Structure formats: structure tokens, C-alpha cells
């Protein structure tokens, strides 16, 4: 998701992990798969040092083809509201501050407080999960990624170090679980549902798995190392096969301030996570966010949290077997032998791609509530011939006491350092990672990396590598991982480029799209993604304005002669990004998160770029969930 400048700087030491020429790489990769090409011989030859014979062969191998997506594309552009294709409608379902309980107070932006916010829909909604309870009844599970003082509060409340304002921000984060019902083919919120729940930065949680109870997880407030207050930085996530909700803690470093001595035992680990960053001022109001007072508290964030949405009295669990880093998402799938595989990206420039494989298979007749506490976390090493998934297991390779890893708990608490030691491949901001159970493939969103370099002479720039071949990659790309015979638990995989983002009409970008892609169908900065019930892939963006248009949602072909063809479907209001695409099981409704509408680097509560979705001069713009339908109530996309 949206990153601040400090997160643009890679903290991975693998800043110079070997470079390849763009031409050699593209020639090698695309000679094996001739379906995806640039828009013209001149564009491809400018970006690639290939022979004319091979270039022409690639260009003539793929022809413009029809696509199973038949909706009429929307136009590129930028304005203060949202847009959908002809024949579709987008309703605003939930807005920041909307009451989600029967007796919750109405939203009053001039009198916000932690009590009211803990009963209302939170700020900056991101991931959306849908748990179906019946054809016309389900639960939305929605993340709230971060708060923004200058855009949430009027000037009179933007007081630095103000405890009341900070507590309101803490309450605005976490997650919302809200029952929705379909009435007359339209979904609506059920405010009096006993299943509705707000989980915030103060909600008690358990710590489970290999790091639970470890000395590095203990704090003055929790000498057991097994209980923690809250979940923060909740970005993307996933819904498990057994119907629980995984929420991913991403940019947790900004919540921690104070100073930590360089000789402290956690100094290297904290530095690798960017702690303490102090961009928020929370440490002035709550000692647990002050590393000078509670140096271990930061180790208790940066995990995957599992929540049972069907039990509002259940205690969320931080599953430490899935590692600690800046988690973007946690999409799961079953391997052929029944084991659960969870794919995760570490969303920082230069960091890594992971997958967790459970030790035991999922048994639908007797589900193990702690299945995710036991298994193996792997990190990806890409080369031109495939992907090696390297086990992050204590005692194997360099993950020993001699290198500072005294137990599996150490490996999980310091996952980034352990992955460094194994020689994982630095990536261009791996965000959402979506397994496709229908074709045995996995789609990896790589949003961008302006710090990627052709040279090895800049210490803060990461060298190009096989899977990230473009220097100054401000547009991002999408990689398709091919798991052998659909075995998602495999430790050796193949991979291909699906698209390289950016304008295909400008040879300088080195973009790669199917020639059937229109002027509206290409995009930049892929972020979240989803597979619809028909097997189609959808891509949401965060950073497309670098391409001259606002962020939105695109359908993207993955098969046959149409492979690599984009089609524009949804356009966000100016300043917003689009997150969390999620379809109902019947494919007749699509939920989208519209995050931070009306914001840029200079906006405030008083001066937004738009006042979407209310367009009320007395109200600020409000991050919201929209639900999209076809006018004829048929399946979306066709």
C-alpha cells in the first residue's frame, strides 16, 4: 500500500545481488512463452538487445484476440468521483465513521473520540474478506491500514502529543467485521447483528506458535510474552479454507518512537524493520510504543493475525510460525495432499516473497484451530530457470546459534535477517500474492522500485536481478509462478512475466503487454488482486497516477492468445487508491475499498482534493467500501 519516503529505501543488505541485462533476460524468458509481447517491434527492440529474428518471431506469434471480459472499458482520466462501465452501478456500502452497532453514535468529525471510533467503521479500509453464511447473508472482514492525523482531524484537534487524539487514531485502526444481507439484489449493512465487531489497536490478543513466550516477546506489561494489545498497520490478508480471517500487519515501524542504544540486543533486528521510525507521535501517549521504555514491544507486531469472524467473543491470535516482516497479504490455498499454503509478500523495496506450508493437512471434518502454528516458512530465490523456496528452519544452513539464531523463535522474530542470510531474491515491493486453485499458478504483484539500479555503485539502490530486471522501475510488474502439477507446497517452481507495467507506447518504459491492450487497458503499480468465481484475474493499483491517470481496477487476461491484455473497469476518485477486490461466490457483486480519497502530500482536513463520497462541505472525504453490480444483476465482467 501507500508507502512513505523512508520505506522507499531498501533495508535489505542484498542491494547488489547480481545484475543481468534486460535484453538477455527478456530473450531468455519470452523465447519459452510467446503469448505476451510488446506493442511494436520498435518498442521491444528499444528495450531488449535481442536478435531481429527472435524479436519478429515473438511479435508475430501473438495476435490480438477476443477476451472473456466483455464489459465496455472506462476511459482513463482523473476527477473527484468514481466511475464504472456502462451497465454497472457502484453503491457506497460503508464509510469511515459509519456506526456498525445498533446503539453506536453517528459520525461527528468535529467531536471524534476513541469511544465513538471503536463503535464505528475504521479509517483507511484496505483488504476485504467475505465469509458467506447463506446465499443472501455474509460477513465482510475489512482491514483499516493506517491513520492520517492531518486528514482525519480539523486543525483544532491536530495537536502533537495529544493523548485523546492519539487514542482515537489507535481506535481507528485494526479491523471491522460487519454482517451484510442481500435485499432485492442489493447488499446492505445489518447494524443490529450480534456478529458485528471492531478490533482495534487496543484489543487483547494471544501470541501463538514458536515465538510465543520467548524472552524477546516479553515486556513490562506482559511478562508472559503471550498476550498483546492490538493489531496495527493492517494491509491485505486472506480467508482460510475453514472460514477464519487472516489480517496482515505491515508498516508497524511508524508507530514506535524513542531511542534504542546501538549496543542493544534488538538494535539490528529493529533497524531491519525500520524501528523506531517515529513518524506517528504515539509514543508520547503510550509507553508501549516507546522503544526506550519497552524495547521488545515492536517484536509483538509485524505478524499475521487469525480471527474467527463467526465468534465475536473469540480472541485473535498472532500466528508467529508465519514469520515477522511487513506483511502485505496472506492468501491461502490447499496443496494436493491437503496441506495449507499461505503466500505472503514483504512490502518494501528490495524485500522478499514468502510462502508457509502447514505441517499437517486440513481436515474439514475435524478442523484443527491451530493448524497455522505448525509448518515451514519459505523464502523465494529466483533465477532464470525457476524459483527455489528456501526453508527458514533453525539449525539449517546459516540459521544457527553461531549466526545469532538460537531457536526457531529467533528465526521467526528476525525473519528478515534470516532471509538475508539464506540469500533470498530482493524484489520490487512484493504486495498481494494470489494463488489460483484452478490452474495451479500464483500471481505476484510487484508494485514498483525506483531504487532499482543497473549498476552496483549506489549503496541505497538495489541491483537488477532475474525477476526484477528494470532499473528505476517506477511502474511495477506482475510475475506468474507455475507450481509443478499444481502442487502449491513444492519447493521448486517455474515462473514467467505476465506483464511489465507502464505505457506500452513509450519504448523508454520497457513495458510488456498483449497488443490487444487498449490505451485505457494498461496500468502501473499493481497492488491488490483477486480471482473471480469464473477464474478471471483482477488487479487494483496504488501509484497509477505516475502514469497520468488515477488508480483503479483492471481485468487482466492470463490464458491463451489474450494473455497479458488489460481492460479498465473502475476508476477511483482523485487522491485515492483501490484495495481489497472481493467477489461474492455467485460473482454478482464486487466489493472494493477506496482508501485515502482526496489526499496528496499537501492536503489537510480543510483542503482535500475531493469530498467524496458525501460531497458535503461540512464533511471530510471518507475512505469507503463500494459494492458494484450489473444493472441486470448478472455476473460481473461478462
pLDDT in tens, 428-454: 999 999 999 999 999 999 999 998 988
| Cβ-contact 306, 244 below 8 angstroms | yes
DSSP string, 374-399: SEEEEEEEEETTEEEEEE--TTSTT-
Residue 2 has pLDDT above 70, yes or no: no
Across 38-52, 196-210, 602-616, least confident range: 38-52
Cα–Cα distance, 183 to 181 (Å, whole number): 6
How many angstroms separate the CA atoms of 341 and 435, rounded?
Answer: 9
Distance (Å, whole) CA 390 – CA 90: 43
Within-domain flag for 258: no
User: Tens digits of per-residue pLDDT, 119-153?
Assistant: 999 999 999 999 999 999 999 999 999 999 999 99
pLDDT band at residue 13 using 50, 70 and 90 as cut-offs: low
Supply the pLDDT for residue 546.
Answer: 86
pTM: 0.91
Q: How many whole angstroms separate alpha carbon 479 and alpha carbon 82? A: 29
DSSP 101: S
Arithmetic mean of pLDDT, 29-50? 33
pLDDT at 8: 57
Report in angstroms the alpha-carbon separations of 485 from 354, 395, 482, 493.
20, 30, 8, 10
CB-CB contact of 340 with 317 (8 Å): no
Interatomic CA distance for residues 619 and 396, integer angstroms: 56
Within a 13 Å sphere around the CA of 80, how many CA atoms are in the beta-carbon half?
Answer: 12
Residue 424 gets which letter from DSSP? P
Residue 462 — pLDDT band, cuts 50, 70, 90?
Answer: confident
pLDDT at 36 over 70: no
**What's the half-sphere exposure (Cβ side, CA atoms, 13 Å) at 257?**
11
Contact 392, 417 (CB under 8 A): no
- Computed over every residue of the chain, the mean pLDDT equals 90
Kindly tell me the sign of the dihedral angle through the C-alpha atoms of 327, 333, 336, 340. Answer: positive
The pLDDT value given to residue 314: 98
Give 359-379 as a DSSP string.
EEE--TTS--TTGGGSEEEEE
Q: Is the pLDDT of residue 352 over 80?
A: yes
SS3 142: strand
**Residues 483-486: contacts with CB under 8 Å, at least 24 apart:** 483/440, 483/441, 483/442, 485/336, 485/440, 486/336, 486/437, 486/439, 486/440
The average pLDDT across 73-95 equals 98
Name the DSSP letter for residue 254.
G
Rounded mean pLDDT, 214-222: 97
Under 8 Å between Cβ of 569 and 87:
no
Query: How many structural domains are present in the chain?
Result: 1
**Is residue 638 situated within a structural domain?**
no
Q: Is the pLDDT of residue 271 over 80?
A: yes
Strands of 375-513, DSSP E: 375-383, 386-391, 430-436, 441-446, 452-453, 462-463, 477-482, 492-500
CATH number for the domain spanning 353: value is 2.120.10.30
CA separation for the pair 355, 372 (Å, rounded): 12
In a domain, 257, yes or no: no
Cα 116 to chain centroid, rounded: 28
Spatial separation of the C-alpha atoms in residues 431 and 636, rounded to whole Å: 25
pLDDT of residue 24: 38
Q: How far apart are CA 493 and CA 515, in angstroms?
A: 28
Report d(CA 123, CA 388) in Å as an integer.
39
Write down the pLDDT at residue 579. Answer: 97
Contact 563, 544 (CB under 8 A): no
Evaluate whether 377 touches 371 at the Cβ level (below 8 Å): no
Which residue, 435, 477, 231, 214, is CA-closest to 333?
435
Q: Whole domain around residue 312: which residue ranges?
A: 5-252+301-630
Asked whether the predicted pLDDT for residue 66 surpasses 80, the reply is no
Q: How confident is the model at residue 362 (pLDDT cuts 50, 70, 90)?
A: very high
Q: Inform me whether the pLDDT recorded for 19 exceeds 50.
A: no
In whole angstroms, give the CA distance from residue 469 to residue 236. 26
Phi, psi of 390 (to 5 degrees): -95, 125
d(CA 504, CA 546): 14
Give the contacts of 395 (CB within 8 A, at least 6 positions apart). none
Question: Is 439:396 a contact under the CB 8 Å cutoff?
Answer: no
3-state secondary structure of 595: strand
Average pLDDT estimate for 5-16: 57
Looking at residue 278, its pLDDT comes to: 82
Looking at the domain assignment, is residue 284 inside a domain? no
Percentage of residues of the chain with pLDDT beyond 90: 86
Q: pLDDT for 99-114, tens place per residue?
A: 999 999 999 999 999 9
E strand segments, 227-374: 227-229, 234-239, 245-249, 304-307, 317-319, 331-334, 339-345, 353-361
Measure the CA–CA gap between 398 and 585, rounded to whole angstroms: 45
The whole-number pLDDT of residue 10 equals 65
Give residue-wise pLDDT tens across range 538-569. Answer: 999 999 998 889 999 999 999 999 999 999 99
The Cα 21–Cα 18 span in angstroms is 10
Mean pLDDT of the 594-599 span: 98
pLDDT bracket for residue 496 (50, 70, 90):
very high
Q: Which H or E run includes 60?
A: helix 52-61
Using one digit for the tens of pLDDT, what is the confidence trace for 326-351? Answer: 999 999 999 999 999 999 999 999 99
Cα(287)–Cα(156) distance, integer angstroms:
25
For residue 578, give the nearest of 609, 550, 549 by alpha carbon: 550
Instruction: Tell me the pLDDT band of 53, cut-offs 50, 70 and 90.
Output: very low
Centre a 10 Å sphere on the Cβ of residue 289 and count the other Cβ atoms it contains: 27
Comparing 195-199, 455-459, 569-573, which segment has the lowest mean pLDDT? Answer: 455-459
Q: What is the pLDDT of residue 38?
A: 35
The pLDDT value recorded for residue 224 is 98
Average pLDDT over every residue of 499-520: 95
Amino acid at each position: 500500500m501507500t508507502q512513505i519516503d523512508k520505506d522507499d529505501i531498501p533495508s535489505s543488505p542484498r542491494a547488489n545481488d547480481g545484475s543481468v541485462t534486460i535484453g538477455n533476460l527478456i530473450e531468455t524468458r519470452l523465447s519459452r512463452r510467446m503469448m505476451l509481447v510488446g506493442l511494436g517491434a520498435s518498442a521491444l527492440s528499444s528495450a531488449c538487445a535481442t536478435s531481429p529474428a527472435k524479436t519478429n518471431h515473438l511479435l508475430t506469434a501473438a495476435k490480438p484476440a477476443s477476451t472473456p471480459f466483455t464489459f465496455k472499458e472506462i476511459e482513463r482520466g482523473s476527477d473527484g468521483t468514481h466511475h464504472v462501465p456502462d451497465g454497472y452501478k457502484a453503491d457506497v456500502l460503508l464509510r469511515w465513521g459509519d456506526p456498525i452497532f445498533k446503539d453506536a453514535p453517528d459520525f461527528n468529525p468535529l467531536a471524534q473520540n476513541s469511544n465513538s471510533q471503536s463503535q464505528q467503521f475504521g479509517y483507511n479500509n484496505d483488504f476485504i474478506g467475505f465469509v458467506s453464511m447463506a446465499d443472501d447473508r455474509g460477513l465482510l472482514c475489512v482491514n483499516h491500514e493506517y491513520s492520517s492525523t492531518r486528514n482525519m482531524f480539523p486543525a483544532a484537534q491536530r495537536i502533537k502529543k495529544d493523548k485523546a487524539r492519539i487514542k482515537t487514531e489507535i481506535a481507528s485502526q485494526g479491523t471491522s467485521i460487519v454482517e451484510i444481507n442481500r435485499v432485492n439484489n442489493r447488499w446492505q449493512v445489518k447494524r443490529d447483528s450480534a456478529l458485528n465487531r471492531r478490533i482495534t489497536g487496543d484489543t487483547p490478543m494471544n501470541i501463538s506458535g514458536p515465538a510465543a513466550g520467548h524472552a524477546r516477546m516479553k515486556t513490562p506489561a506482559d511478562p508472559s510474552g503471550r498476550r498483546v494489545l492490538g493489531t496495527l498497520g493492517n494491509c491485505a490478508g486472506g480467508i482460510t479454507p475453514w472460514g477464519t480471517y487472516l489480517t496482515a500487519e505491515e508498516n508497524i515501524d511508524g508507530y514506535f518512537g524513542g531511542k534504542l542504544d546501538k549496543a542493544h540486543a534488538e538494535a539490528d533486528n529493529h533497524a531491519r524493520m525500520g524501528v523506531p521510525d517515529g513518524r506517528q507521535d504515539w509514543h508520547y501517549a503510550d509507553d508501549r510504543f516507546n522503544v526506550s521504555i519497552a524495547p521488545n514491544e515492536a517484536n509483538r507486531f509485524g505478524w499475521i493475525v487469525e480471527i474467527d469472524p463467526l465468534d465475536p467473543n473469540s480472541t485473535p491470535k498472532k500466528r508467529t510460525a508465519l514469520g515477522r516482516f511487513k506483511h502485505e497479504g496472506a492468501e491461502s490455498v490447499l496443496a494436493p495432499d491437503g496441506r495449507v499454503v499461505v503466500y505472503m509478500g514483504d512490502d518494501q523495496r528490495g524485500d522478499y516473497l514468502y510462502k508457509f506450508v502447514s505441517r499437517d493437512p486440513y481436515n474439514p471434518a475435524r478442523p484443527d484451530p491451530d493448524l497455522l502454528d505448525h509448518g515451514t516458512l519459505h523464502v523465494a530465490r529466483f533465477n532464470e530457470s525457476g524459483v527455489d523456496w528456501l526453508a527458514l528452519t533453525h539449525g539449517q544452513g546459516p540459521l544457527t546459534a553461531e549466526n545469532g539464531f538460537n531457536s526457531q523463535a529467533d528465526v521467526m522474530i528476525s525473519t528478515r535477517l534470516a532471509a538475508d542470510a539464506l540469500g533470498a531474491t530482493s524484489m520490487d515491493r512484493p504486495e498481494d500474492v494470489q494463488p489460483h486453485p484452478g490452474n495451479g499458478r500464483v500471481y505476484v504483484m510487484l508494485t514498483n522500485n525506483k531504487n532499482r539500479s543497473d549498476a552496483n555503485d549506489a549503496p541505497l539502490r538495489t541491483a537488477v536481478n532475474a525477476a526484477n530486471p528494470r532499473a528505476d522501475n517506477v511502474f511495477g510488474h506482475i510475475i506468474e509462478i507455475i507450481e509443478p502439477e499444481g502442487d502449491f507446497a513444492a519447493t521448486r517452481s517455474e515462473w514467467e512475466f505476465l506483464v511489465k507495467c507502464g505505457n506500452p507506447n513509450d519504448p523508454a518504459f520497457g513495458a510488456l503487454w498483449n497488443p490487444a491492450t487498449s490505451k485505457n487497458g494498461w496500468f502501473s503499480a499493481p497492488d491488490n488482486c483477486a480471482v473471480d468465481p469464473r477464474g478471471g484475474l483482477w488487479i487494483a493499483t496504488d501509484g497509477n497516477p505516475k502514469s497520468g491517470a488515477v488508480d483503479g481496477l483492471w481485468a487482466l487476461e492470463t490464458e491463451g492468445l489474450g494473455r497479458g491484455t488489460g481492460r479498465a473497469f473502475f476508476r477511483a476518485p482523485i487522491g485515492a487508491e483501490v484495495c481489497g477486490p472481493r467477489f461474492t461466490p455467485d460473482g454478482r457483486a464486487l466489493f472494493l475499498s477506496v482508501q485515502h480519497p482526496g489526499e496528496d502530500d499537501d492536503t489537510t482536513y480543510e483542503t482535500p482534493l475531493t469530498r467524496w463520497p458525501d460531497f458535503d462541505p461540512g464533511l471530510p472525504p471518507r475512505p469507503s467500501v463500494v459494492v458494484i453490480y450489473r444493472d441486470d444483476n448478472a455476473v460481473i465482467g461478462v
